[in-house]
A = this chain, B = another copy of it.
Amino acid sequence: MNEIAQRMTDKINIDERFSRITDYWNPHIAGELNGQMVKLVKFKGEFVWHHHDAEDEMFLVVRGAFDMHFRNRVDRVGEGEFIIVPRGVEHKPVAIEEAWVMLFEPASTLNTGNVVNEMTKAELPRL
């Protein structure tokens, strides 16, 4: 295996990567494959209502819990659980306590979807 392939295959310790994140609602890139990205983000507080026109999103809770608000219901997603939000479906994550969340979504996905405001992160840091 050449050096690039070896670097690409280095294993990632999820907790260790989360320990480098010091802010909320700021997804960090932890991996990339097949045009999709693995992002790590700390949630705390209330995000904005939004949807993604062309992208499905997966939220996997590594630590803590958060509430995924849909227009007709709220789902509590706890540690060791994941939820997939299909494209076009409005949603708003809310975390009363800090939650560590792994996202799996296309590289093109903007965190606030169809909304652009002060929570929008156009450029994501890499861990």
Q: Total interface residues on A, using CB and 8 Å? A: 41
Separation of A11 and B82 alpha carbons in the complex (Å): 6
Contacts A9-B70, A11-B77 given: A84-B33 contact, CB under 8 Å?
yes
Using A12-B83, A80-B15, A89-B1 as known contacts, say yes or no to A56 and B34 having CB atoms under 8 A apart. yes
- A122 on interface, CB distance cutoff 8 Å: no
B-facing mask of A80-94, CB < 8 A → 1, else 0?
Answer: 111111101100000
Q: What is the count of identical protomers in the complex?
A: 2
Q: Is A97 in contact with chain B by the CB < 8 A criterion? A: no
**What would be 29 A-B contacts, judged by CB atoms less than 8 Å apart?**
A1-B70, A1-B71, A1-B72, A1-B89, A5-B86, A5-B88, A6-B70, A8-B84, A9-B68, A9-B84, A9-B89, A10-B75, A11-B75, A11-B77, A11-B82, A11-B83, A12-B81, A12-B83, A13-B81, A14-B80, A14-B81, A14-B82, A15-B80, A31-B58, A31-B82, A34-B36, A34-B56, A34-B106, A38-B104
Binding site for B on A (CB under 8 A): 1, 5-6, 8-15, 31-34, 36, 38, 55-58, 62, 68, 70-73, 75, 77, 80-86, 88-89, 104-106
